[in-house]
Amino acid sequence: MLSKIVRPLVQTQIHLLANSMATRSTLIETIVRWLGYLGVQAHITQLEPTSNQIKVSLTVGQPESCHPADWQKILHNLQVSSESSNGSKLRQSSLNPQQQTHLARLLAYLIQVGHPPSTLEWETLKNHLISLNLDPSLQQEIKTALKVPQTGEHLIEKIDPDVSAIALPIAFSIAWLDGEINQEENQALKALLEAMK
């Protein structure tokens, strides 16, 4: 499963960073390398400790798997619209009602397979969904979808690339809510990634 592969690698990197005499350059190399695994060419422009966190600024080039026309559209869209804190809500609002319902049911499925009903109260989940900047109407659809068992195969088979692109980061955050990714969650995440191709 994804967590069993990634977690030991992260722990190893953290241990190396903690014991490195060149922590700054090692961390920069680590970030660039990990983004490189995703096909993203990155250049770190700033890396500073702030309070209990590390502030990182970077410049990224066109990912290897990105079609040049798509990359130009991304650059154009960034130039004509300023980034806002409502970015996730804006992307969700671009979905039609059928796509939003599909997204809500898919996220409900991930919640159901990763968190037995007795272990996750709605208020806790709602706070997490709010932190992900999910639209209130989508939150309500997820709450409604949680009232009935969802079947992953049917939901994942019919997902389109637009829904998948919006769903993947949200789905990963929900799956990782308990710090682990089980087999069903892992299969759903892989299917979302495949649907985007």
pLDDT of residue 140: 92
pLDDT of residue 57: 92
Of 58, 14, 12, give the one whose Cα is nearest residue 35: 58
pLDDT of residue 5: 59
Residue the block writes with tokens 């804190």 = 85
Please report the sign of the dihedral spanned by the C-alpha atoms of residue 91, residue 93, residue 94, residue 99.
positive
% pLDDT > 70, the chain: 84
pLDDT of residue 83: 47
pLDDT of residue 144: 92
pLDDT of residue 141: 92
pLDDT of residue 90: 43
Helices (H) and strands (E) in the chain, counts: 10, 2
Residue at 27: amino acid letter: L
Contact 101, 140 (CB under 8 A): no
pTM metric for this prediction = 0.58
Beta carbons within 8 Å of 125's beta carbon, 6+ residues apart: 111, 115, 177
Q: Tell me which residues of the chain have a pLDDT lower than 70.
A: 1-9, 81-94, 117-120, 197
Q: 148 is written with which tokens? A: 């009935």
